[in-house]
Structure 1
Amino acid sequence: MQIQITLHGILRDALPPEARGRTALTLPAGATVADALLALQLKNTTTAAINGQQVPLDYILHDGDHLHLFRPIGGGR
């Protein structure tokens, strides 16, 4: 299956600058968000969303999904 991926914030640095934070991945059926992170060599300290909804790392991806990846935001007092 093929999925589209958009990396946001500092995660964009994981791709060449000309990619502008976007790429496509071909993964086997049954692959999860964690599998996509592994293929991109990203750590599991990432927040993922599909179709505007946050999903867990064990979410099973589907052909044509558009996966958005973010670093969790922290801070405050």
Structure 2
Amino acid sequence: MVLTVLFFASLRERLGCNKLSLTLPAGASVADVITTLAEREPGWCEAFEQGQCLAAVNQQMVKPDYLLADGDELALFPPVTGG
């Protein structure tokens, strides 16, 4: 299956990338995508090592065990804080 992965905020800045296309086997989860991305390039491992990445699939917040489908859009971003 092919996904579009979008990166936002400080995650986008750390990776130097705002969007990519990723091919994974059917039945992959959000956690599988994060693992795959962390192994993609040396600097990317550091961006995902904290395990504190929020995810939305097709603009709906999801948990790491959410199963993805072909053509999904996965947005990844750091937790948001403010005051």
- Normalised to the residue count of structure 2, the TM-score between the two structures is 0.78
Quote the residue 2:58 is aligned against.
Answer: 51
**For 1:9-33, what per-residue CA distance to the aligned partner results, in whole angstroms no more than 9, with x for missing partners?**
11113544xx4x1001111111000
Once residues 24 and 14 of structure 1 are traced to their aligned partners in structure 2, the CA distance between those partners, rounded to angstroms, is 18
Alpha carbons of structure 1 residues 53 and 39: separation in structure 2 relative to 1, 3 Å: same
List aligned pairs for 1:1-77, cutoff 5 A. 1-16=1-16, 19=17, 21-41=18-38, 42-43=48-49, 44-76=51-83
The range that moved more, 59-68 or 36-45, is: 36-45
Q: Which sections of structure 1, spanning at least 5 residues, go unmatched? A: none
Let me know the Cα RMSD of the aligned residues.
Answer: 1.5
Structure 1 runs of 4+ off > 6 angstroms? Answer: none
CA distance in structure 2 between the aligned counterparts of 1:22 and 1:75, rounded to whole angstroms: 25
Residue 74 of structure 1: how far off its partner (Å): 2.6
Question: Comparing both structures, which one devotes a greater share of its residues to helix?
Answer: 2
Deviation (angstroms), 1:53: 0.8
TM-score (normalised: structure 1): 0.84
